[in-house]
Structure 1
Amino acid sequence: MMLSKNEQKIYSRHLRLNEIGAEGQEKLKQAKVLVVGAGGLGCPVLQYLTAAGVGTIGIVDGDVVDVSNLQRQILYAFEDVGKAKAKCASNRLKSLNPFVKFKVYQEFLTNENALGLFKKYDIIVDGSDNFQTRYLCNDTAVITNKPLVFGSIFKFEGQVTVFNYNNGPTYRCLYPTPPSPGAVPSCSDIGVLGVLPGIVGSYQANETLKMILGIGEVLSGKLLTFNALTMNQMSFNFNKNEAINIQVLEDNYDVFCGLPQVDEEITLEVFNGKKMAYNLLDVRDHWERAQDSIGGKHIPLNELPARYTEIEINKPVVVYCKSGIRSKRAIEFLEAAIPNTSFINLKDGIG
């Protein structure tokens, strides 16, 4: 597969590197990489893989752009708010490098689609922000025998490693069981330094390029940690647990990760059509309420144990938050505290 004259101009700085050259650049052109999540981590990964000339890039994300994403998800602009992330990302990336093919999957990764998607690609990059998707990515990568480039962020700190590289250690070797629900808050709950996912995502892109090119030392069996406040960077070794044998996917990764299960959910569209039939409870934080609200009683999740008696229960109660996760935890508590009362989760929250 020869490089065109325009491609040679674009990749000229790669071609001058003895470790890459024309042969390495052609390896990049033939490579197929699937990026799970086009958010904070996925954006820099996608930008650098596109700029480097990875031939085929798949983008899996069922989310839409929210204005709060713009602080760190650098592929998007104000005019993209409300639009599908995967599509917006591919449109932006096509203008960066017209020689890259993009496969857009406007859906979330699930048990139903994961195996089929992973089989089409050489390397998987996990840019997800929740434990159920991380375990699903890991298990699917093991079953399909694909290396998985992992990254995670928490406030000012990040982690990077590569799982299942040449049958090396996996995510479950490092984290055999998920943390208890709520033990590790999401960035929507506690915030994150905007530049951090750019740093960690760049590390993920670097690991991906090294594997494609066959150069350097891959971060397999090593967890790299980074602190943006102190600029300390450390690497920890971990071994493969031979006792872990992954042959099939879990039936339900939400259940596996201990997420509360609710009996009833309602979409915002359906709720808006019959508001008078319900009481409404907002369990978001005070600052979130000040920014945006669809009304109802406001009791932040951490205040529920002391204030749940304030809730009017003469009608079914629709409980909402930003994404539908905290509201599920609220319902789990409320169903035990106020039996014989109907609590309904607002599916996917108000965004």
Structure 2
Amino acid sequence: MVLPPLVEPVDALAPDERVRAARQLRLFEIGDVGQRRLAAARVAVIGAGGLGSPVLLYLASAGVGTLGIVDDDVVDATNLQRQIAFGTTDVGRPKAAVAAERVRELSPHTTVVEIREHLDAANAAHLLTGYDIVVDGSDTFETRYAVADACAALGVPLVWGSVLRFDAQATVFWSRPPTGTTAPETNAAGTTTRPGTTPVAPVNLRDVFPDPPAPEDAPSCADAGVLGALCGQLGGILSAEVVKLVCGVGRTLLGRMLVIDALTATTSEVPLVPSRAQAGKSIPRPLADASRPDAVRRVSVDELSDLSDPAIIDVREPDEFAAGSIPGARSVPLAHLTTDAPLLPLDRPVVVFCQTGPRARIAARTLLAEHPDADIRILDGGYDAWMRVHRRVRA
């Protein structure tokens, strides 16, 4: 669904900026007006690391007028595998300062605001006030929830992404998206130049993930590793979301979660929509019940065989399922989970799994939101864990 443009355009672009942005100006959907909207936009990027680096570079290249860089860390040698704004000579320097230099090199007309402060719940709203969009590229749950809560309070769209190992997720959270419909715009010939918009429901981080996960469910990149190229892939997606929101073009990720598995080169998405009971009330459907500490239960590979007649659901893509799965598992890809949920045997334990765990967690929360009394569990470690155990048994 196309949303109205987020900002009003500046009056004119500098002549050298028109040359620099020439290839983007050729895009009919953006054009002169869209480029002038980008020049007027103020975007805060939280973190200049694995996600923040490509986001900052692409938004600078796109011609965003003001970029706020929120990062109090310094460059470490271990960052260089994925944080493409930095080089070996930058080790030990403040990330915000180095990233600001790169932005100015790419886009001389972009105003850069360096914020070398640790963002937390106490100062998040203050630091983010005045920005049109916030992009969260942070790597701690303390910061993520502080940013999300501040954006929800300010009514600012939050372009959100996360990446770990070979898995990534992206969406747009917005507590106060446009509520009214607008008529399509037409030119003198009667051709539609911009389609009309329809109301969308607000969705915030806590509607999807009410509370931070337990530490054992959320290993850091230092512990679990991360594919550097995936950071660039996701950073490009997040940057494109910003451009679409600013210019009012295309279909954004508001209301849906994009899930990427780089190891199998597959993507899927999960709708984040109001529940049937709340339809028309603009209240987003939570994907987990925070009042239930056992809302998403886990079962190990060894414990799986002890369950009485469980329904085992493989939420990976069909090609992954065809390449190998747990005996007796049923293939229900994550993108089809909502439509196929009524067909699942929810009168007995349901164990969902993916390759390592991220897609299974989303699936389990989605099922619990619609069936809070069902016995929904996640296979700990996913198919990778099952294969390790059964290779050991065969050996």
State the TM bucket, normalised to the shorter chain: 0.5 to 0.7
Q: Is the contact made by 1:19 and 1:215 (CA closer than 8 Å) also made in structure 2?
A: yes
Tell me the SS of whatever aligns to 2:252.
coil
Whether contact under 8 Å (2:45, 2:70) holds in the other structure is yes
1:196 maps to 230
Sort the Cα spacing of 1:236 and 1:177 in 2 relative to 1 into closer, same or farther, 3 A. same
Distance 1:176 1:22, change over 3 A: same
Matching residue of 2:151:
141
Local SS of the residue matching 1:224 = strand
Measured after TM superposition, the shift of residue 243 of structure 1 is 6.7
What's the CA shift for 1:240?
4.7
Q: Is the 8 A contact 1:41 1:200 kept in 2?
A: yes
Q: Larger deviation: 129-138 or 56-65?
A: 129-138
One-letter code aligned to 1:238: L
Partner of 1:12: 22
1:248 corresponding residue in structure 2: none
Which residue does 2:130 correspond to in 1?
A: 120
1:40-119, aligned counterparts within 5 Å? Answer: 40-119=50-129
In the aligned structure 1, how far is the partner of 2:83 from the partner of 2:208? 28
> Which residue identity lines up with residue 186 of structure 1 in the other structure?
S
Counterpart position of 1:284:
none
Distance between the aligned counterparts of 1:184 and 1:113, measured in 2?
25
Unaligned runs of 5+ residues in structure 1 are 245-351
Supply the AA of the counterpart residue of 2:90. D
- 1:45 & 1:182 partners in 2: Cα distance? 29
Measure the CA separation in 1 of the matches of 2:158 and 2:76.
Answer: 27
Structure 2 distance, partners of 1:243, 1:50, is: 35
User: If the length of structure 2 is used for normalisation, what is the TM-score?
Assistant: 0.60
**Deviation for aligned residue 1:190:** 1.3
Asked if structure 2 preserves the Cα contact closer than 8 Å seen for 1:34 and 1:60, the reply is yes
Counterpart pick for 1:207 among 218, 232, 241:
241
- Which amino acid is 2:164 matched to? F
Paired residue for 1:234? 268
Residue in structure 1 matched with residue 196 of structure 2 by the alignment: none
How many angstroms does 1:194 deviate by? 1.2
Q: Which segments of 5 or more consecutive residues in structure 2 lack a partner in the other structure?
A: 1-10, 178-200, 276-281, 285-395
Whether contact under 8 Å (2:57, 2:102) holds in the other structure is no
Q: Does structure 1 conserve the Cα–Cα contact (< 8 Å) formed by 2:73 and 2:95?
A: yes
| CA drift at 1:124 | 0.4
Equivalent position amino acid for 1:16 in 2: R
Please show how residues 139-288 of structure 1 align to structure 2 within 5 Å: 139-164=149-174, 166=177, 168-240=202-274
Q: Deviations over 1:230-270 (max 9, x none)?
A: 110101101258678xxxxxxxxxxxxxxxxxxxxxxxxxx
Question: C-alpha offsets along residues 79-138 of structure 1, whole Å, 9 cap, x if unaligned?
Answer: 111110001100122111111110000112122321112211000000011111111111
> Quick one: distance in 2 between partners of 1:118 and 1:75?
22
Q: Which amino acid aligns with 2:79?
A: N
C-alpha distance in structure 1 between counterparts of 2:261 and 2:161, whole Å? 14
Give the Cα–Cα distance (whole angstroms) in 1 for the partners of residues 228 and 253 of structure 2: 25
The alignment's C-alpha RMSD in Å is 1.6
Cα deviation for residue 182 of structure 1 reads 2.7
Distance in 1, matches of 2:266 and 2:283, equals: 34
Structure 1 residues 240 and 149, CA gap change in structure 2 (3 angstroms): farther
In the superposition, the TM-score normalised over structure 1's length comes to 0.68
**3-state SS of 2:216 partner:** coil
Counterpart contact for 1:173–1:240, Cα < 8 Å = no
Amino acid in structure 2 at the alignment position of 1:142: A
Q: Aligned partners of 1:203 and 1:78: how far apart in 2?
A: 27
State the alpha-carbon separation in 2 of the partners of residues 175 and 200 from structure 1.
Answer: 20
3-state secondary structure, aligned to 1:19? coil
- What secondary structure does 2:217 align onto? coil
1:4 Cα deviation after fit: 1.7
CA contact under 8 A between 1:173 and 1:239: conserved in structure 2? no
- Percent of paired sites with the same residue: 44
CA contact (8 A) 1:123 1:146 kept: yes
Distance 2:259 2:102 in 1: 30
Q: Which amino acid aligns with 2:84?
A: I
